[in-house]
Amino acid sequence: MRYLSTRGKGAPVSAGNALLDGAAKDGGLYVPETLPDLSFLLEGKLTYQELAAAVFEAFFPDFNRSDLIKASESAYQTQFDHEDVTPLVPVGDCFILELFHGPTCAFKDMALQALPRFLGMARERLDPHSHYLVLTATSGDTGSAAMRGFLNVPGFSVLVYYPEHGVSAVQKAQMTRMPGDNVKAVGILGNFDDAQAGVKAAFQMNPDELPDGLKLTSANSINIGRLIPQIVYYIHACRQLKESGALMPGQAVDFVVPSGNFGDIFAGYLAKQAGMPVGKLVCASNRNSVLADFIKTGVYDSRRELYKTLSPSMDILVSSNLERLLYYAAEGDADKVSGLMRQLKEEGWYKADADMMARIRADFNAAFADDGQALEAIREVFYKHHYLMDPHTATAFLAKDVLKGRDNPCVVLSTASPFKFPKAIFKALDHDLPEDGHEQLKALSELTGVPVPPALESVMGLPEKTIKAIKRDEVVADVKRRAQTWS
């Protein structure tokens, strides 16, 4: 199994090189040269750990099988607070796939508990004497998940950039209170796109600008090692539905995914291409509807105001992983993808051709909802079904309406614990919000009868690491300065 760049420059690389590089040298993103047939994984009895190990082996066959099994077990055996890891919960006319039972209570844990283990194996095999600085931009959840995943991992340090005023108080606390000397989070006076642009600019630095022996890699979803573990829970959901009788022979499963950087939903696309019974993939957007607009119109236009919403992980105008879908929609025409990405960078927009959009719409649909609609959905679902959703999940719950008339079971991906967004939940349920962050979690539990996740309970009691926020154009200089301490 080798990996190709979506922009076509350079020879295919091994899995280990793709993982350590993060992004391709030509600015593109890595995709598998071929996709394995994973349909056999629908059969037999498998634990989540066994299923994950089988997927890892299919995509990373050049790694030792026993090492991949160990990686799966250490990632998912004890780090999650539910025995099914990603349980399916029936709510109304759909199922909700809970992806928030990991150590930072968000779906990013599903990948970022495995990625450090992949990178550790790759480093040991290919570059054991280098120290890697894991650069990460976050719109809320990736930062704490990356910091937690790489905490005290030998040979790696993590530097996270987040929008200072664009994440929830709990999300910020998870990053600024994370213990460990090899992880740091820095706020920027801008939005997620600014943070992502700064990190991408840092990756374009000349290696001579970094200390000897220090190299950069990424924990963002531009790294193929983020996407492969996410395929697992799509397969696991199909298996759970099949075993329960909710998925009948000849049926497929429609998935509705709250989408920002497009990695989560693209993993579902890879699962489908690898033989899973995946039907439609519905891209759910908030008021920042650039993705939903693209799927409906074929025009990707980032030349618009970025709104700060109650679902900050979706407050994105430049969705990196969409480039991977464009590559498949263009049937591997890397020159076409390069042209579209160049136009996006230079002009802020592009239009995909009719053939590409026909292929995309064969697999994808889209919808968006604003904050008011999301709050109403949180309130209605809680009082009607006694189920508590966070704002991202609520947006997806509303988007499932585009599937009306289809006979497939519908699964809504729940990407974060509602306790990460207490301000939104209190507003939805028409209750006053306590000022103290710790008290907010306790009060929310008392109000709803839902226990506070232990992972959030523990982090709120840790001391905060105070780092002054920087300007949006200071990211590269900040990376250079902090790199000196980890060389």
Instruction: Kindly report, residue by residue over 156-201, the tens digit of the pLDDT.
Output: 999 999 999 999 889 999 999 999 999 999 999 999 889 989 998 9
User: Can 420 be counted among the known catalytic residues?
Assistant: no
Indicate if the pLDDT at residue 487 is higher than 70: no
The region, left, alpha or beta by phi > 0 then psi within -120 to 50, assigned to residue 8 is left
Say what the pLDDT of residue 204 is. Answer: 85
Strand segments (E) across 214-344: 214-218, 253-258, 278-285, 299-301
What CATH number should be reported for the domain holding residue 242? 3.40.50.1100
103 pLDDT band (50/70/90 cuts)?
very high
Say what the pLDDT of residue 28 is. Answer: 94
Q: Choosing from 9, 108, 351, 420, which is the catalytic residue?
A: 108
Q: Is residue 13 part of a domain?
A: no
Tell me the per-residue pLDDT of 452-462, one tens digit each, with 9 for 90 and over: 999 898 888 78
DSSP state of 106: B
Distance (Å, rounded) from C-alpha 220 to C-alpha 200? 11
Say what the pLDDT of residue 81 is. Answer: 92
Indicate if the pLDDT at residue 83 is higher than 70: yes
Tell me the per-residue pLDDT of 40-58, one tens digit each, with 9 for 90 and over: 999 999 999 999 999 999 9
Tell me the per-residue pLDDT of 322-372, one tens digit each, with 9 for 90 and over: 999 999 999 999 999 999 999 999 999 999 999 999 999 999 999 999 999
Indicate if the pLDDT at residue 388 is higher than 80: yes
Q: Is residue 380 part of a domain?
A: yes
Q: Is residue 353 part of a domain?
A: yes
Say what the pLDDT of residue 285 is. Answer: 98
Distance (Å, rounded) from C-alpha 324 to C-alpha 26? 14
Q: Is residue 61 part of a domain?
A: no
Which range marks the domain in which residue 300 is found? 88-102+225-420
Please compute the mean of the pLDDT values over residues 210-219 and round it to a whole number. Answer: 91
Which of 3, 199, 233 is CA-nearest to residue 113? 233
Distance (Å, rounded) from C-alpha 7 to C-alpha 44? 39
Q: Is residue 171 part of a domain?
A: no
Q: How many domains does the chain have?
A: 1
Query: In the predicted model, what is the mean pLDDT of the chain?
Result: 95
The H-or-E segment that residue 161 falls in is strand 156-163
Tell me the per-residue pLDDT of 273-332, one tens digit each, with 9 for 90 and over: 999 999 999 999 999 999 999 999 999 999 999 999 999 999 999 999 999 999 999 999
> In angstroms, what is the C-alpha Rg of the chain?
21
Please compute the mean of the pLDDT values over residues 195-223 and round it to a whole number. Answer: 90
Q: Is residue 204 part of a domain?
A: no
Q: Is residue 73 part of a domain?
A: no
Q: Is residue 289 part of a domain?
A: yes
Lowest mean pLDDT among 37-51, 381-395, 455-469: 455-469
DSSP string, 411-466: EEEE-B-GGG-HHHHHHHTT-PPPSSHHHHHHHHHHHH-PPPPHHHHHHTTSPP--
How much is the pTM? 0.94
